Structure formats: C-alpha cells, structure tokens
Amino acid sequence: MTHHVPTPLLFDFATGALPEGPALAVTTHLSYCGECHAALLRLEEVGGALLQTLEPAAVDSDLLSHTLARLDESDMDASVAEPEGETRGLLPPVLRPYLATTLNGARWRFAARHVREARLPLANTAHRASLLRVAAGRPVPQHTHRGVEYTVVLSGGFTDRGQAYRMGDFCVADPSVEHRPVAMADAECLCLAVLDAPVLPTGRIGRLISPFLR
C-alpha cells in the first residue's frame, strides 16, 4: 500500500469534522492501513492532551441520565446475518451495513462502458457513495471533477497518471485533475468512490455517455 489519507483529511476525521461520505472513505482505508491508523491515534492523543488544558464547562445535572436513556433506546439490530463468502472477503466490515445485501445481489447499474455502479445509502445527501466495478484491463472514461472524489481500492487495482493503486490505497481527485484510470489487466477492480459533485466527462466517448455519469 503506497497511497494514504492526506494528513489534513485525517486531522479532520480525528476531530469529527468530516461528513459521513468522506468519513466512510477514510474509515474504509483505515481497515487496511496500519500506518494511517497509527497516525490517527497520534492525532487523537494530541487532541486529548489539548482537551485536558481546557476549563471544565457546566452541564445540566440530568445529562448523564439522558445519555444512558438514549443508549437504552438504540435500535441497532445485533442479529444481522453474516454475509456470504465473496462479500465477506471483498468488503471490510464498515461497508457491509451500507450494502444491506450481497455483492451479487446489489443493484448494479451501467455507469459507463466496462463500468458498473451500486449506490450506497448515506444519511447525508451532500455526498454520493458507490461501489464501482471496472472490468479487468479496461479504462474509466476520461474525466475531470466538479468537486472532490475519494476512492479506496477494495480488490484488484488500477493505474492512473503513472501511479498504481492496489487494495486499500486511497486516491483523492479534485477539479485540478483530468484523468482516465485503467483497471489492471489481471483482475476486475472493485472500489469505493465518494464524491460531492458529478464528474465531468472530457473525452469524446465520455461526453456521449455523460448522462449516465451524472
């Protein structure tokens, strides 16, 4: 693994400032990357030390009882079935509740030639999260970005602008980037993609199918 979460983004994650979509991408990368996980722990230690220097703030006397009551009201289902083998092998635990089915049972839609997409439900609609499957050896249409896109490789890999991205690698692309990622030839590329605005096709073929990419 050679591509990691940028330090400013990891700092925002440590402070709880990231929205759900980017936070999901960072958490997914952390599932693979001990180096970034260690860096996160260091940031949290610094944050904890800073909190110790603050003066205590007054709170309502019933705060504790209200908090405990909320915990008792949790509607989390502890009986969620263990996913089947391929899904368990390819998706880290943090992503499985978002899929709510198996990889084969997901609603895959045509996103571009050789590219299929399955949307993941986010409570915060400011971002879109998707699983993307790109056929082995095939490119994603050339495009740039109206916003920021975070990509985490879940299996296989791709090459982009002279760099290779493999399982667990983290990629950030913004409006300054125009690219045409290509899945590696030996296997299909499965990745998580989170973006805050639609991509903008720039190649001739990409412009023809751009309605599918919005």
Q: Tell which wins on pLDDT, 7 or 100.
A: 7
Contact 184, 138 (CB under 8 A): no
Check residue 188 and give its pLDDT. 96
Q: Tell which wins on pLDDT, 39 or 81.
A: 39
Q: Which CATH superfamily is domain 1-54+87-214 in?
A: Jelly Rolls (2.60.120.10)
Check residue 49 and give its pLDDT. 62
- Confidence at 122, pLDDT banded by 50, 70, 90: very high
CA 120, 168, 134, 8 torsion-angle sign: positive
Task: Give the integer Cα–Cα distance in Å for 65 and 117.
Answer: 44
Model pLDDT for residues 29-66, shown as the tens digit of each residue:
999 999 999 999 999 887 666 666 767 777 777 777 77
**What distance lies between CA 52 and its chain's CA centroid?**
32
Strands (E), 6-145: 109-112, 115-120, 128-134, 143-145
The ranges assigned to domains in the chain are 1-54+87-214
Q: Tell which wins on pLDDT, 166 or 61.
A: 166
Structure token digits, residue 54: 């603050």
Check residue 177 and give its pLDDT. 95
Task: Give the integer Cα–Cα distance in Å for 129 and 203.
Answer: 24
Q: What is the pTM of this model?
A: 0.82
